[in-house]
Structure 1
Amino acid sequence: MLTGKQRSYLKSIANGIDPIFQIGKNGINDNFIKQVDDALEAREIIKVNVLNNSFLNAKDAANEVAELTNSEFVQSIGNKFVLYRESKDKKKIELP
């Protein structure tokens, strides 16, 4: 569970990154979860874009993906959301 200070720090990092995944009309499937899981291990923080043709809104999609990848939901703005998970091997982000 992230504290307010940690969440704020992660938001500041996420401000400068672009979305690397998109959720469209196919929604969230096993292949998508595997790719997100690998990206979280490599980068620790990722941003995901939910397309307009998706049947999910960003907050619901974020909570589902976070639960399936054992990651932390950081924020959701518009149709984008940010997830964080500490890497086991390649720790890059030092939380306050």
Structure 2
Amino acid sequence: MLAKETTLTGKQKRFLKALGSTLEPVVQIGKGGVPASVIESTVQVLAARELIKVRVLQNSPEEPKTAITALAGATGAELVQVIGRNGLLYKKNEEKSKIELP
């Protein structure tokens, strides 16, 4: 069940990057890559928080950008940015949105 594709504007991405700079990673991708269990927990966390930070651990078989992009695609989230081993994902909660985009 993938949500309809929305693309963030540059202004919206900058806004989300600023919010995400203080976040701690809540999802970690390790040696198992991106299994269904990681996808399920990511969907739940995105529904609760809308904006999350993802960390790709050193033992991950995939490159950070590849793993985070795959996770974004599997959850229907927007990939805001990837810096080093960390990525920022955003998915608007249609029922009760917490983040008001500019």
- Aligned length, in residue pairs: 96
Unaligned runs of 5+ in 1: none
Q: Identity of paired residues, percent?
A: 44
Counterparts of residues 1-96 of structure 1 (less than 5 Å): 1-96=7-102
- List per-residue Cα deviations over 1:21-75 (Å, max 9, x = no partner): 1111011111110100011011000001100010112111111011111110001
TM-score by length of 2: 0.91
Q: Secondary structure at the match of 2:25?
A: coil
Unaligned runs of 5+ in 2: 1-6
Conserved in 2, the CA contact under 8 Å of 1:42 and 1:90? no
Q: Secondary structure at the match of 1:10?
A: helix
Moved over 3 A (4+): none
Q: Distance in 2 between matches of 1:22 and 1:63?
A: 14
TM-score by length of 1: 0.97
Alignment RMSD, CA only?
A: 0.7
